[in-house]
Amino acid sequence: MSATALPAHRPSFPATLVELTKLRISGASTFTAAAGYIACRRGVDLGLLPTLAGILLLAMGSSALNEVQERHLDARMPRTWHRPLPRGDVSPAVAGILAGTLALTGFLLLDFFLNPAAAWLGALALAWYNGFYTPLKRVSAFAVVPGSLIGALPPAIGWAAAGGSLRDPAILALAFVFFIWQVPHFWLLVALHAEGYEQAGFPTLVKVFGRTRLARLTFTWICGTAAACSLLPVFRLLGTLPTLLLLAGGALWLVLGALPLLREDLRPAVFRRVFMNINLFALILTAAVILDPFLK
């Protein structure tokens, strides 16, 4: 993208910060962490506030560090060329310092106000995302499978912050559902933006399988995500009729809405709609876990 295509004015610093730290995605991770905390405590207490603040800051720091790591690749993709670093709105040095400050502050909040287990689990999430998954994406089209541990860690951090054991089958079940969910979520993005990823040098499953086979593989993982939700009532994360109906209805709606992925004449609108559905399903799942203790 040429420099002449860039807008004449620079966005404000708050707007740049929101984009640099991927605040919407960081906020979604924090929401799933809240589910882990509330599920463990079976309610809300003051410890939830430093938990959410610490996890949000860690997620924001990790996201900003990712943008520093991938700034040259982002500049080659239509989907990401307008991000703050490729546009020159902020320097890599400033973004790196900001990322480190946010992540360190989040770690210290979890360690000081809650417990070391939550803090070090947060550090593991950052290390896994920035130190393992980010470089692996450049060499393997299957990087998202081990990388999906990132989706499983936020609820586990919330659970640990509430004093729960990470060996408890309940949190393992919840983390597993988010692990499974993360895979089709990313593959739908790949199906939508494969050419851009390949232009930047990323290997993609569209190149390995083609869009039709990838769509069918994605549908299988979506069905697996819906089926994995049955673990939640088994391990008593959900026990009230309203939340059971909410989750069951959401899972059925997700699978039915993904059926167009099995068509031969796939269009971008299909992937876009299913991508929106799977994101909404994550909110439904998280809301069900959060609401359950309050409906008994």
Q: Residue 67: which domain range?
A: 13-295
> Taking residues 100-125, what's their average pLDDT?
95
Per residue in 255-278, pLDDT (tens digit) is 999 999 998 888 989 999 999 999
Under 8 Å between Cβ of 258 and 277: yes
Q: How many structural domains does the chain have? A: 1
Instruction: Specify if 204 maps to a domain.
Output: yes
Instruction: Specify if 239 maps to a domain.
Output: yes
Instruction: Specify if 256 maps to a domain.
Output: yes
Please give the mean pLDDT across all residues of the chain.
91
Instruction: Specify if 149 maps to a domain.
Output: yes
Instruction: Specify if 8 maps to a domain.
Output: no
> Is the confidence at residue 1, as pLDDT, over 50?
no
> What CATH number has the domain bearing residue 135?
1.10.600
Confidence band, pLDDT 50/70/90 cuts, at residue 9: low
> Is the confidence at residue 5, as pLDDT, over 70?
no
Instruction: Specify if 4 maps to a domain.
Output: no
Instruction: Specify if 44 maps to a domain.
Output: yes
Burial 196-225 (b: 16+ CB within 10 A, else e): bbbebebbbbbeeeebbebbebbbebbeeb
> Is the confidence at residue 84, as pLDDT, over 90?
no
> Taking residues 201-210, what's their average pLDDT?
88
Per residue in 21-62, pLDDT (tens digit) is 898 999 999 999 999 999 999 999 999 999 999 999 999 999
Q: Is the pTM of this model over 0.85?
A: yes
> Is the confidence at residue 145, as pLDDT, over 80?
yes
Contacts of 242 (CB under 8 A, 6+ apart): 291, 295
Instruction: Specify if 6 maps to a domain.
Output: no
